[in-house]
């Protein structure tokens, strides 16, 4: 029973089910990356179709401009049981969004 509580089950219109994950989607050019913080199907490729976009992470920018995201949306997805990647967990903790 704990596994279904951890995963948010979504039904797309094709009738299959997927669990949601909050992770980074890569953009940019060689040696100038930036990332969007997205909610995506756990089995989708890194740059695949997203369910929702929460914000962005730009590691090359100044410290105060690196991380921008909607904390309300993030907390909403976390309450629904979305799984968070390790990198996004560190980003959320930097901005004081508690993730277990």
Residue 12 lies in a domain: yes
Residue 71 lies in a domain: yes
Q: Are 74 and 66 in contact (CB under 8 A)?
A: no
Mean pLDDT, residues 17-36 taken together = 87
Q: What CATH number should be reported for the domain holding residue 54?
A: 3.30.1320.10
Give the burial string for 84-98 (b: 16+ CB within 10 Å, else e): beeebeebbeeeebe
Query: Over 50: is that where the pLDDT of 62 sits?
Result: yes
Residue 29 lies in a domain: yes
Write down the pLDDT at residue 13: 38
Write down the pLDDT at residue 6: 43
Range of the domain at 6: 2-94
Query: Over 60: is that where the pLDDT of 74 sits?
Result: yes
Residue 99 lies in a domain: no
pTM over 0.85: no
Residue 19 lies in a domain: yes
Residue 72 lies in a domain: yes
- Of 59, 64, 54, 65, the C-alpha closest to 23 is 54
Write down the pLDDT at residue 18: 56
Count how many domains the chain has. Answer: 1
């Amino acid at each position: 029973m704990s596994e279904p509580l951890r995963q948010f089950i979504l039904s797309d219109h094709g009738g299959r089910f997927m669990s949601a994950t909050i992770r980074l989607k890569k953009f940019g050019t060689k040696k100038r990356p930036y990332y969007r913080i997205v909610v995506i199907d756990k089995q989708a490729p890194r740059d695949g179709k997203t369910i929702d976009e929460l914000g962005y992470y730009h590691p090359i920018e100044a410290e105060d401009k690196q991380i921008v995201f909607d904390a309300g949306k993030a907390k909403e997805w976390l309450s629904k049981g979305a799984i968070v990647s390790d990198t996004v967990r560190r980003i959320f903790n930097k901005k004081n969004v508690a993730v277990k």
